[in-house]
Structure 1
Amino acid sequence: MVWEAHLSMMKKTAMNTHVNLRHMLAELVGMALFVFVGTGAAVFFSDPKSTDFTNAAAMISNTRLEPLFNVITTNSSFGVVTALAFGIGIMVAAFSIGHVSGCHLNPAVTISLLLSGNCGIGQAIANIVAQCGGACIGSLLLWGTSDLRSHGLGANSVGDAYSVGNAVLGEIVCTFLLCYVVHMTAVDKNSPPSTNGLAPIAIGFAVFLGHAVLIPLDGCSINPARSFGPALVANRWKDFWVFVVGPIAGAILSVPMFFLISQPWEAKRDAKGRVVEDPQDGTMKIESAI
Structure 2
Amino acid sequence: MGKIALGSASEASQPDAIRAALAEFIATFLFVFAGVGSAIAYGKLLPGDLTPAGLVAIALAHGIALFVVIAATANVSGGHVNPAVTFGLALGGHITILRGALYWIAQLLGSTAASLVLKYIVTGEAVPVHALGAKESAVSGFIWEIIITFALVFTVYATAVDSKAKGTVGGIAPIAIGFIVLANILAAAPFSGASMNPARSFGPALVTWNWDNHWVYWAGPLIGGALAGLTYGGIFLTPVSYTPVNDQFL
Q: TM-score, normalised by structure 1?
A: 0.77
The one-letter amino acid paired with 2:214 is F
Residues 1:41 and 2:38 aligned together = yes
Asked which structure has the greater CA Rg, the reply is 1
Distance 2:236 2:145 in 1: 24
Residues 1:102 and 2:78 aligned together = yes
Instruction: Give the superposition deviation at 1:175.
Output: 0.3
> Structure 1 residues 192, 228: closer, same or farther in 2, change over 3 A?
closer
Instruction: Give the superposition deviation at 1:218.
Output: 2.9
Maintained 8 Å contact 1:188/1:286: no
Distance 1:284 1:108 in 2: 21
The one-letter amino acid paired with 1:195 is V
Maintained 8 Å contact 1:167/1:217: yes
Q: Could you list the runs of 4 or more consecutive aligned residues of structure 1 that deviate by over 4 angstroms after TM superposition?
A: 283-288
> Structure 1 residues 228, 192: closer, same or farther in 2, change over 3 A?
closer
The one-letter amino acid paired with 1:165 is V
Q: Secondary structure at the match of 1:209?
A: helix
Maintained 8 Å contact 1:40/1:154: no
Residues 1:170 and 2:167 aligned together = no
Distance 1:142 1:236 in 2: 16
Distance 1:228 1:246 in 2: 14
Residues 1:251 and 2:225 aligned together = yes
Q: Alignment RMSD, CA only?
A: 2.0
Aligned to 2:7: 16
% identical equivalent positions: 34
- Aligned mate of 1:224, from 198, 220, 227: 198
Distance 1:116 1:162 in 2: 33
Residues 1:121 and 2:97 aligned together = yes
Aligned to 1:238: 212
- Aligned mate of 1:137, from 113, 131, 146: 113
- Aligned mate of 1:30, from 2, 27, 36: 27
Aligned to 1:266: none
Instruction: Give the superposition deviation at 1:187.
Output: 0.3
Instruction: Give the superposition deviation at 1:158.
Output: 1.1
Distance 2:123 2:88 in 1: 37
Tell me how many residue pairs correspond in the alignment: 239
The one-letter amino acid paired with 1:180 is F
Q: Which runs of 5+ in 2 are unaligned?
A: none
The one-letter amino acid paired with 2:104 is I
Maintained 8 Å contact 1:189/1:285: no
Instruction: Give the superposition deviation at 1:48.
Output: 4.6
Instruction: Give the superposition deviation at 1:233.
Output: 0.5
Distance 1:259 1:30 in 2: 26
Structure with higher RCO (Cα < 8 A, 6+ apart): 2
Q: TM-score, normalised by structure 2?
A: 0.89
Maintained 8 Å contact 2:160/2:166: no
- Aligned mate of 1:75, from 42, 45, 51: 51
The one-letter amino acid paired with 2:233 is F
